[in-house]
Amino acid sequence: MNFFSSGKYLYFLHLFYASIVNADDVEVVEVLAPKQSLTMSSNKISKSYFDERYTFSLNRTMADQLQTITGVSLTGQGGQFQSYAIRGFSRARIRTEIDGIPIITDRRAGNSASFIATGLLSIASVTKGPNSALYGSQAMGGVVSLTTELDHETSLKLGGQLNNDKVDLTLKHRKDNLSSAFSYQHANNNSAENGDKLNNQFERISGLIRYNFKHNDLTTIVSWLPSYGRGIGKSNIKFPELERSQYPQETHSLAQIQINSDNAWQAKLFHHYQNWDSETLRVSQYHSLTAYQSQTLGGQWLAKLSSSPLDSFLGIDWLSRKGVRINSEYKLLEQQSNLSSELMNNYMHGEEDNIAIFSKNGWQVNKARIDLGLRYDWIKHDNDKESKTDNNLSASLSLNYPIRTGLDLDLEIANGFRYPSLSEQFFTGITPRGYIQGNKELKAESSLGTQIGISWQDQEHLRLHGTFYHYEVDNYIERYQVDDEVLSYRNLDSAQIEGFEAELRWYINERIEHHFSYQQQKGQDKQQNLADIHPRRISWVVLGTFDDITIAHSLNYYFVVNHVAASESKRDSFLMWDFSIGYEYTDQNTISLALKNVSNESYYASLDESASLQPERSIRLSVSWEF
């Protein structure tokens, strides 16, 4: 059925039209993710924001933009569901939020926000290191926080990419207290530099409606963010000769209501419904269709109890996941002698409940700033046959000390934990990666992380940040190959991740600035290397503004990788060259041209052994209007 004739599309148009009616004349400031102001670490490099001037990204999903941040790397097989790692922590060890709503998808590769068009997202930040003291499970490696706050009253952006006929259309509108947005995306498959066909086509619409109103000292924010996609290709090195995987359809709905008090407390309730299918054809072996459905309900209450000299906050979190269903149906194309009867049991029905209380306290002692975070979590997991409960106490302590004007020392020690996901424990069936067999005996991961950072800046031209970090992880959950066809999960007794990252920003004058960064790390247990450890990378970005013209130039050198995990492949070194130029022909209108992979390099985005090559040289043209 043609996408534009579907009922879903007409429904989106109806909602968008309804959203542009006039609202009240009182403007209300949006605070969509209150926790973001409570970052436990005072280290200036521990929290990074995506620089919107980096306009040379492929801009397929948020992962393309996040990888420009030092300490973030891409993982998994690629395509629309490209996932990411923060300082070597990946998959369910990273918490991803949109407007403060946690995104939990049960995908084995990790929880990404790929179902939301990048044009709807205005701010992206990454908080690195253990954040369980504030966010609980799934934040032991860090937090990716995205927001849909609108920058302008009305804007329209249209973009196209030549080598895969990619089209992006995003329309945003804000009238007084009512915000709305609509985005349409479409792309065909394209090719790598060596001619390999890539399975990365997709089609998607996303929308946004948000209304704010204020009564006395209370501000209420109501929002709904729906998304529908279809024909989403799943990149894999086996495509197309050995395997063809896609997501035929994907539906998401994020809704929330939040109340902010002028007396410094916030309360919110949220709901995330998702329903998607994955289809895999393993040539001459089998054809499978997996249906996934879940509902995430939750709430949060956060209050400021006192202010300077003691800043004290208290919060309560509630998270409940109901109706988590994974049902795989498949038929064998040829009789498989190694297919066990256990693998035929491919249905999972699970639930999760999590209640937590947390606090953050900060003191100013002479020149030093001390922050302490504490959190207690109670978690329960159920499936059709059994129930499991656990609890955890998380703590974080950080110190910021100004050695002298312009020179700061930061110290931090924090623990984190991660409860096994429902799919890791209970799901057995076929996925685009192959046969997956859950392990209900998995133990929760726990970590202890330390980091020391130095920040220095002169009065005008230079800013330098550097951080050393070390993490000890107990019961690290590893995906491993049971035999030629079956994957499963197991705990490693202990593992270590350590590394160094640095950033230098040089502001030559008002027009030109240089950004230099470097990252390296290693991760291993007693016998092997860990997966998803990012390779060494050195980056150089030049940003220039000349009257009506802006230029962004980027060089990223990835060093050779010879030491990898069992599920990864060695990679050669490569140099990635990107470039973009924008021309502001009026105060409200801009046209820009971006070239990704200018030298047409042949490269992989991750170390995953099943990852396909990345696209060949890409040229993107976009035009934007602001009203």
**Any idea how long the chain is?**
627
CA 326 vs CA 107, 181, 288, 294, 335: distances in Å: 11, 32, 13, 9, 24
Is the confidence at residue 23, as pLDDT, over 50? no
Give the pair of three-digit tokens for residue 59. Answer: 């801009």
Rg (CA), the chain: 24
Q: Residue 205 in contact with residue 183, Cβ under 8 Å?
A: yes
Alpha carbons 31 and 221: distance in angstroms, whole number:
9
Picking from 264, 255, 245, 354, the residue whose alpha carbon sits closest to that of residue 305 is 264
CA–CA dist 389, 15 (Å, integer): 42
Is the four-CA dihedral 19, 166, 292, 611 of positive or negative sign? negative
**How many CA within 13 A on the CB side of residue 383?**
18
Query: Of 296-300, 329-333, 373-377, 562-566, which range is least confident?
Result: 329-333
In the β-sheet with 142-147, what is the strand arrangement from edge to edge? 47-49, 123-128, 142-147, 94-98, 101-102
Residue the block writes with tokens 């002028």: 262
CA dihedral 529, 532, 536, 538 (to 10 degrees): -170
SS3 of the chain: helix, strand, coil, percent, to 5: 5, 60, 35
pLDDT digit string (tens) for 395-439?
999 999 999 999 999 999 999 999 999 989 988 877 767 778 889
pLDDT digit string, tens, across residues 359-382: 999 998 889 999 999 999 999 999
**∠ Cα 607 198 226 (to 5°):** 90
C-alpha dihedral over 191, 196, 197, 199, to 10 degrees? -90
Q: Is the distance from CB of 352 to CB of 109 less than 8 angstroms?
A: no
Which residue bears the tokens 């038929």? 331
Neighbours of 74 (CB within 10 A): 23
- Eight-state DSSP code of residue 3: G
**Residue 377 contacts residue 369 (beta carbons within 8 Å):** no
- Does residue 467 carry a pLDDT above 70? yes
pLDDT in tens, 545-595: 998 999 999 999 999 999 999 889 999 999 999 999 999 999 889 999 999
As a whole number of angstroms, the distance between CA 287 and CA 309 comes to 64
pLDDT at 334: 66
* Predicted local confidence at residue 310, as pLDDT: 82
By the 8 A CB rule, do 499 and 517 touch?
Answer: no
Residues 98, 458: Cα–Cα separation, whole Å: 36
